[in-house]
Amino acid sequence: MLTGRERQADVAGQLPRGDQMRQAIVDGAIEFYARNGARRTNLTDIAMQVGTSPPNILYHFGSKAGLITAMVEELEARRIVEMEPIAERGGVAMLRGLAAYARCTEESPNLAALALMCSVENLGADEPAHQYFLKQGERDRTLLRKGLQAGIARGELRPDINLDATIEEIRAFMAGAWLVWLLDPGHASLTRLYDGYFSKLIRELSA
């Protein structure tokens, strides 16, 4: 998978200079947040990371909140790139892939916390990124449905699965597991939570 910085290099010379700087700021901010977390990060830190100035960050994003929104969108774009091949495996392989994906998430708790924080802050229908997170949910539903249907078609999964209910259960588990893990990582391993849940789900859904 291309990281944000690798994608930026890949399109060097194609994007306008302003867009390249905007992407560089987002990538640099993500790297800094991953190491230090949100509470110990300010615009001056990010500017030093990228080699620019706080006023230039404000010029591109308007505010720190605007930058955070752009960061979450970039993280989601990266996540979809990682999730699509997992969903394309379909069936049991997809469910096992989702379980294994927890290991990647567990390596970046600060970024996971940032994404969760932003989704909670936009629960209200009038919040600026509410529609963005609704669309994120629809993308997840589409990927999960495709993978489950492939498993049913191959005879791996039971044909009587309630797809809508199963998809929402998976999404609810994953969101809840993130919260439990982030609140008390000393007692809750995301990898163990995912392994246990998806192993049980595979047993329940297998034909």
The alpha helices in the chain, defined as continuous H runs, are 4-10, 17-36, 43-50, 54-61, 64-89, 91-106, 109-121, 130-153, 163-183, 190-205
Per-residue pLDDT at 88: 93
Dihedral in degrees, nearest 10, Cα atoms 89, 164, 132, 115: -70
Per-residue pLDDT at 16: 61
Per-residue pLDDT at 178: 94
User: Which CATH code is given to the segment(s) 75-205?
Assistant: 1.10.357
Angstrom distance (rounded) from CA 90 to CA 150: 5
Residue type, 152: I
On the question of pLDDT at 2 being above 60, the answer is: no
Q: What is the mean pLDDT of the chain?
A: 87
Angstrom distance (rounded) from CA 143 to CA 84: 7
Asked whether the beta carbons of 143 and 83 are under 8 A apart, the reply is yes
Per-residue pLDDT at 179: 94
Q: What is the pTM of this model?
A: 0.81
Residue intervals in the chain for CATH 1.10.10: 1-62
pLDDT one-digit tens code per residue, 104-144: 899 889 888 888 888 888 899 988 888 888 999 999 999 99
Which of 170, 154, 84 is CA-nearest to residue 162? 170
Residue intervals in the chain for CATH 1.10.357: 75-205
> 157 - beta bridge partners?
206
What class has domain 1-62?
Answer: mainly alpha
